[in-house]
C-alpha cells in the first residue's frame, strides 16, 4: 500500500472517529438535559430596589417563594391562588409580599385594603410585611382606597404529552410526568402599599411574575 493511500485512509478514520464522538456527545446531552417543569420568575422593582428571581425545578426554595392553587372541589382547574414571596432579604430585614387572588376566572382586579374603615373592600388581598430582624418587630403595609393595587394575570395549565423523568436526580421527590398537568400563573402587580403610620415611607411595587 502506497504512502499516499495510507495517508488518505488515516484521515478518513480520524474524521469517522470525530463524527461518532460528536453523535455520542449530543445523544448523552439530550438524555441528561433537565426539562423545565417548574419555574419561579419574579422581575421588577420595589421602590428603588431591583427584584430579579428566576429559579427552576430543584432550585426553587419554598421558604423564599411559596404558592398554592386551590379549587375547592374535585376538578384540577383551580379557583383561587395564594402566594408568599420574600422580595428583599438582608441581615437586618425581610420584606415579604402576600397575594391572594380570589377568582382566577377573571384576568384583572383592583385590590383594596380589607380594613373595616375603608369604603371599598375586595376578596382578593395584597399586602407586605417588613420584619426588623434586630428588634424582632413586623410592620404591615397594605393598599388604601386612594392607592389600590392593580393586578393582572393569566392562569394556564401545563401538559406533558410524553413520559418525562428526572435524569439528574436533583429533586427531593421522584415523579413521572406522563399524562400529568398542573396549573401556572403569569401576571403583573403595580401600585403602592402604605403603613398606617404616615411617617413610614410607602412601598411602591411593580413586578411581573411567572409561577408553575
pLDDT of residue 150: 97
CA distance 198 to 34: 49
State whether 19 and 106 are in the same domain: no
DSSP lists the bridge partners of residue 183 as 157
Rg (C-alpha) for the chain, rounded Å, is: 25
pLDDT at residue 140, as a whole number: 95
Claim to verify: residue 14 and residue 80 sit in the same structural domain: no
The kind and range of the H/E element at 69 are: strand 65-70
Q: Assess whether 111 and 9 both reside in one domain.
A: no
Say if residues 72 and 93 touch (Cβ distance below 8 Å). Answer: no
DSSP 47: T
Q: Which residues in the chain show pLDDT less than 50?
A: 3-31, 166-175
Instruction: Tally the domains of the chain.
Output: 2
Claim to verify: residue 95 and residue 187 sit in the same structural domain: yes
Q: Are residues 15 and 114 in the same domain?
A: no
pLDDT of amino acid 182: 85
Kindly report, residue by residue over 157-175, the tens digit of the pLDDT. 887 766 555 444 444 444 4
136: alpha, beta or left, given left = phi > 0 and alpha = psi -120 to 50?
A: left
Q: Print the domain residue range for 203.
A: 35-211
Q: Does residue 101 sit in the same domain as residue 111? A: yes
Tell me: do 25 and 70 sit in the same domain.
Answer: no
Answer yes or no: do 42 and 60 share one domain: yes
pLDDT of res. 1: 52
The answer to whether 102 and 112 are in contact (CB under 8 A) is: no
Clarify whether residues 87 and 175 are in a common domain.
Answer: yes
User: CA 149 to CA 142: how far, in whole Å?
Assistant: 9
For residue 132, the cross-strand partners are 93, 137
**Is residue 29 domain-shared with residue 39, that is, in the same domain?**
no
55 and 135 share a domain? yes
Q: How far apart are CA 140 and CA 88, in angstroms?
A: 15
Amino acid at each position: 500500500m502506497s504512502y499516499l493511500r495510507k495517508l488518505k485512509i488515516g484521515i478518513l478514520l480520524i474524521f469517522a472517529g470525530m463524527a461518532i464522538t460528536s453523535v455520542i456527545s449530543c445523544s448523552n446531552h439530550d438524555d441528561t438535559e433537565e426539562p423545565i417543569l417548574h419555574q419561579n420568575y419574579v422581575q421588577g422593582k420595589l421602590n428603588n430596589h431591583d427584584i430579579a428571581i428566576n429559579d427552576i425545578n430543584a432550585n426553587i426554595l419554598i421558604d423564599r417563594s411559596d404558592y398554592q392553587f386551590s379549587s375547592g372541589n374535585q376538578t384540577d382547574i383551580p379557583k383561587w391562588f395564594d402566594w408568599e414571596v420574600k422580595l428583599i432579604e438582608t441581615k437586618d430585614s425581610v420584606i415579604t409580599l402576600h397575594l391572594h387572588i380570589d377568582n382566577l376566572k377573571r384576568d384583572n382586579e383592583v385590590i383594596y385594603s380589607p380594613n373595616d374603615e375603608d369604603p371599598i373592600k375586595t376578596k382578593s388581598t395584597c399586602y407586605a410585611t417588613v420584619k426588623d430582624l434586630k428588634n424582632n418587630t413586623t410592620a404591615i403595609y397594605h393598599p388604601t382606597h386612594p392607592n389600590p393595587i392593580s393586578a393582572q394575570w393569566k392562569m394556564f395549565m401545563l401538559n406533558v404529552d410524553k413520559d418525562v423523568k428526572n435524569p439528574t436526580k436533583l429533586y427531593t421527590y421522584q415523579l413521572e410526568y406522563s399524562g400529568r398537568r398542573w396549573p401556572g400563573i403569569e401576571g403583573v402587580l403595580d401600585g403602592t402599599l402604605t403603613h398606617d403610620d404616615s411617617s413610614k415611607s410607602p412601598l411602591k411595587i411593580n413586578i411581573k411574575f411567572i409561577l408553575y
